[in-house]
Amino acid sequence: MVRGPRRGEIQGVPNTLVWLAALLAVGPFLSATSRRGAAESRLILAGLGVAAFAQGAGTLGLGDLRLLAWQSPSDAWFVGITAGAIIAGGCLLPPFRSRLAWLPALPLAIAMGYVAIPRAVVGALVGAGFGALPWLIAMALPRARGSASSDHPRPLSKSACIAAALAVVLAAAGPMAFASLALLAAAWLGWRSADRRGLAGIPALPVIATLALIAWNWLALTVAGSPWATAAVLAREAPISAAGQHLLAAMAIVWALALAAPWPLDHFGRATVQLPALAVVLAVALRSMPEGLAAWQPIATPVLAAATVVAAFRRRWDAAAGALVVLGATRPGALGVAGALAIALVPIGSRVVRWPAFWTAVAGVATALVLSATLRDEVLVTVVLGLGVAAAAQYADRVVAPI
């Protein structure tokens, strides 16, 4: 692990890189329709690089990072590699046919050049090779248009939308047992109204989610002693043993996977309006079982990351969104949950309001937030996930497909 700055050694404005990277969100609005995937790729890579600086260096100030590069050879390598990856992957590989798409990337490219020069030049060249990987991989892949799993969506079920909204309200301020029931109702109603052509004729995923939620509620209510207990009350007043937390967390992950339908479960059903509600309910439910969640994360995180990358390369963006939602909602803190909720809203919002560039930008920023939250404890998996999704999106004509 790269040594971070000691207290009092470096002082500066911590949000400089955040504001510079945020300018890349304008890219989808300036890019042609067929190049919006490349704009989202740059957003993801810039977010991954900024998160790396925040975690490895403990600062996001340009002057701080430049001083850090002069402290030791290892710090210089870290700053140079990270800056080079951002420049090559997030800035200097835009769609060359659209000159306007270069403009949002220029401030960040100039800033990274300031940070990486002169001591970290060699590291920046090495990092540029990593940053260029998504572009190189995309050049070797056949170009695919759109998402085969979502070309002919059906209208959203109003009753399913009401049930999903009720699940969010109950999870935020009401009993978890009733919140899970509302979430389950949204899943069943969404499955009934979904276009099931080419899918299994039986409701496999809703049935699995139902059984897992029944078992989870039974155990949680046994511990709480009351069906009216909220997640906060359960975490504060009802002691849960380590074994109980492990079992509750495993059950929660099972019903979350059944409701999110990530790859390869998307062949048996697809998440619709229950996906945003799932992000909230799952995040709230896991507050009372931190030890159990920590025990399962080393297994769940690589599996979800692999499912996201495979689904993205197969252009099944709904299945990739489902995996990212579960991945973000199971991270501690608000950053991953915010990213998960934003990702969950993208497919639904793109069906209701036809603003492709806007939803592409939201998808890129939301994915970067999930990567930032995951980078805190899974560095290698997060880097592979970020590079994989960026490469898959690089030459996709449409990365935001309605579910």
Which of these ranges, 139-153, 196-210, 259-273, 352-366, has the smallest mean pLDDT? 139-153
d(CA 27, CA 397): 14
Has residue 257 got a pLDDT over 70? yes
Radius of gyration of the chain measured on its C-alpha atoms: 22
Confidence of residue 324 (pLDDT cuts 50, 70, 90): very high
* pLDDT tier, 13 (very low <50, low <70, confident <90, very high otherwise): very low
Burial (0-12, 13-18, 19+ Cβ within 10 Å), 239: exposed
Q: Which residue has the higher pLDDT, 322 or 175?
A: 322
- pLDDT number for residue 208: 83
- Burial class (CB within 10 angstroms; exposed 0-12, middle 13-18, buried 19+) of 201: exposed
The tokens of 36 are what?
């919006």
Pairwise pLDDT comparison (197 vs 136), residue with the higher score: 136
Alpha-carbon span 331 to 197, nearest angstrom: 34
Average pLDDT over residues 45-71: 84
Secondary-structure percent of the chain, ordered helix, strand, coil, rounded to 5: 75, 0, 25
Tell me which of 4-8, 84-88, 378-382 is least confident: 4-8
Q: What is the pLDDT of residues 168-192, one digit of tens each?
A: 777 777 777 778 778 878 878 777 6
Phi first, then psi, for residue 376 (nearest 5°) are -65, -30
Q: Extract the tokens encoding 140.
A: 């070797």
Lowest-confidence pick of 164-173, 219-228, 282-291, 354-363: 219-228
How high is the pLDDT of residue 53?
86
Say what the pLDDT of residue 11 is: 43
Compute the average pLDDT of residues 244-263.
84
Name the range with the highest mean pLDDT among 159-163, 282-286, 305-309, 346-350.
305-309
- Give the CA angle between residues 139, 263, 331 to the nearest 5°: 95
> What is the rounded (10 degree) CA torsion for 187, 342, 270, 323?
-110
pLDDT at 63 over 50: yes
pLDDT tens-digit map of 303-313: 999 999 998 88
* Tokens read off for 32: 């042609």
**For residue 333, what pLDDT band results from cuts at 50, 70 and 90?**
confident
pLDDT attached to residue 304: 93
Mutual angle of helices 379-394 and 133-140, in 10-degree steps: 50
Instruction: Check the CA dihedral 156-206-244-371 and report its sign.
Output: negative
Does the pLDDT at position 10 exceed 50? no
pLDDT in tens, 215-236: 877 777 776 666 666 666 666 6
- Rounded Cα distance between 198 and 179, Å, is 31
Measured distance CA(91)–CA(81) in Å, rounded: 15
End-to-end CA distance of the chain, in Å?
Answer: 40
> Which one has a higher pLDDT value, 47 or 56?
47
Mean pLDDT of the chain: 78
Can you give the pLDDT at residue 146?
Answer: 45
**What is the arithmetic mean of pLDDT over 388-399?**
78
- Per-residue pLDDT, averaged over 85-96, amounts to 76
Distance CA 134, CA 313 (A): 12
In this structure, which amino acid lies at residue 51? A
Among the listed residues 196, 185, 181, 195, the one whose alpha carbon sits nearest the alpha carbon of residue 158: 185
289/249 Cα distance (integer angstroms): 7
Per DSSP, which regions of 38-153 are E strands?
none
The percent of residues above 90 in pLDDT, for the chain, comes to 4
Residue in the structure block whose two tokens are 């036809």: 354
Which of 10-14, 57-61, 64-68, 224-228: highest mean pLDDT?
64-68
User: Does the structure show a pLDDT above 60 at 337?
Assistant: yes
Token output for 201:
């004729």
Asked whether the predicted pLDDT for residue 399 surpasses 80, the reply is no
Q: Is the pLDDT of residue 193 over 70?
A: no
